[in-house]
Amino acid sequence: MKVTVYPSKLAGDVYVPTSKSIAQRIVACAVMAVGETTIAHFPDSDDCQHALEIARSLGAVVRKDNEKWVIKGGFPFNFQSDIRQPKGVLFCGESGLSARMFSSIAALWHEELVLEGSGTLLKRSMKTLEEWLPQLDVKVRLKDHCLPARIQGPLMGGKVLADEVHSSQFVTGLLLAGAVTKKGIELEIEHVPSLGYVETTIAVAKKFNVEINPTQVGFEVSGGQKYQAQEITVDGDWSGAAFLFVAAALTADDGLLIQGLSTDIPQADQAILEVLKLARVRVEEVENGYRVFASKIKGFQFDASDCPDIIPILSVLAVYGDEPSIIKGAKRLVDKESNRAKAIQHEWSKMGINTVLRGDELKIYPKAIQSVHVHAHDDHRMAMSLAVMALGGAALTIHAAQAVSKSYPEFFDVIKTLGGRIE
């Protein structure tokens, strides 16, 4: 699928999509909770639908009740009489979070379970599973350090000694699973990248009455805890909102009201507000959200190591600055849906933008963009970033634009309703 996005002025108000990151964590907790968890405002994105299918494959009963999803859990120890046994295969689609998180949860089962995926996920490293789970007497077999992953437990808990891990998603899975093990989990690790995403995990687990605690050397979670089924609403997505914030900063002369955000469960990508402040964007916090106005963008320096998902859209904002911007955290872009650091350099160069990648820093030199064909690299965040780039500067024809369905299927329709011209 290709779309052409033209320079446009946005106006009006918009509700952000709900968080796929929080939603998938809720599903994981609900699978292990005895009783029925009811989830409101569950996203319709591809990743979230795959999480529901994984829940079914693990034996949970999943149904839709009007606009809410209901999950009857109990995995692995407390199945109700009408809950099925796990199937042999858990299909994760292209969701890195589901693959890495549910791997440790699957390890709770005493028979082999296989995690499979598709598309870009098949190229993303799962090597950490080979390094961590065998320390806990769990058998793991991968294909060249990638999916499919064959995992056989049962995971009983224990201590894991880890060097620096390249994704916090492995930490999330191990800690969530550790709460229902016999011994609990003690994870000793030198550095956790994207620490803010682990804080999201801890907050979601607490909603289900499970405690996960940071330590001086990592994390620990006591075993024998019980996830308690909940009625829960998925918060708005700060990551998805970041695209709307930047689009407004470039185009919304009369302001754009962005609604549906919460700080109840911490999300690392709320850091977008800090960046907008550095870039001198006019943002007004009002009773029902944030009103963002088109502004003269100032070049900025920002360390996005703990929120790398917003680096692509920050790289758009930087193009419209009054001086070069420097974004740290570029090393965190390699193992995403695409190699985002290279993808940004490649696509930005097509538009006439000079970028310099040196070590962990990405420096972007502002310049008026050229109207060209660009490619989203099958990456939802690249597709949305390129669309925002076009709204502020020159028409861009974006190939592989269907990638937005991974996290924000309605993205192009939403932009149209706000005044964006898209063909």
User: What integer pLDDT is reported at residue 81 of this predicted model?
Assistant: 43
Report percent pLDDT > 90 for the chain. 90
Question: pLDDT digits over 258-311, tens only?
Answer: 999 998 999 999 999 999 999 999 999 999 899 999 999 999 999 999 999 999
Question: pLDDT digits over 363-373, tens only?
Answer: 999 999 999 99
pLDDT tops 70 at residue 335: no
pLDDT tops 80 at residue 332: no
Band of the pLDDT at 340, cuts 50, 70, 90?
confident
For residues 233-237, give the mean pLDDT. Answer: 97
Residues 6+ apart with CB under 8 A from 208: 29, 30, 33, 227, 228, 229, 230
| Cα distances (angstroms) measured from residue 391 to each of 53, 237, 244, 251 | 36, 21, 11, 7
User: What integer pLDDT is reported at residue 178 of this predicted model?
Assistant: 98
Looking at the DSSP assignment, which residues form a beta bridge with residue 114?
A: 89, 150
d(CA 148, CA 414): 36
pLDDT tops 70 at residue 336: no
Band of the pLDDT at 85, cuts 50, 70, 90?
confident
Total Cβ atoms within 10 A of residue 245 = 27
Please report, as a single letter, which amino acid is at residue 37.
Answer: T
CA angle 268, 275, 394 (to 5 degrees): 110
Band of the pLDDT at 80, cuts 50, 70, 90?
very low
pLDDT tops 70 at residue 84: no
Question: pLDDT digits over 396-417, tens only?
Answer: 999 999 999 999 999 999 999 9
Question: pLDDT digits over 34-50, tens only?
Answer: 999 999 999 999 999 99
Helix (H), strand (E) at residue 17? none
Q: What three-state secondary structure class fits 188?
A: strand
User: What integer pLDDT is reported at residue 154 of this predicted model?
Assistant: 96
Among 82-96, 137-151, 212-226, 319-333, the minimum mean pLDDT is found in: 82-96
Band of the pLDDT at 337, cuts 50, 70, 90?
low
pLDDT tops 80 at residue 97: yes
pLDDT tops 80 at residue 164: no
d(CA 350, CA 347): 5
d(CA 192, CA 91): 27
d(CA 64, CA 56): 13
- Token pair in block for residue 374: 């660009």
pLDDT tops 90 at residue 193: no
Beta strands in 61-133 (DSSP E): 61-65, 68-72, 89-91, 113-116
In the 8-state DSSP scheme, what is residue 333? G
Average pLDDT, the chain: 95
User: What integer pLDDT is reported at residue 79 of this predicted model?
Assistant: 54
User: What integer pLDDT is reported at residue 191 of this predicted model?
Assistant: 83
Residues 6+ apart with CB under 8 A from 295: 249, 279, 280, 281, 282
Among 62-76, 84-98, 283-297, the minimum mean pLDDT is found in: 84-98
Tell me the domains of the chain and their CATH numbers. Answer: 2-17+236-422 (3.65.10.10), 20-222 (3.65.10.10)
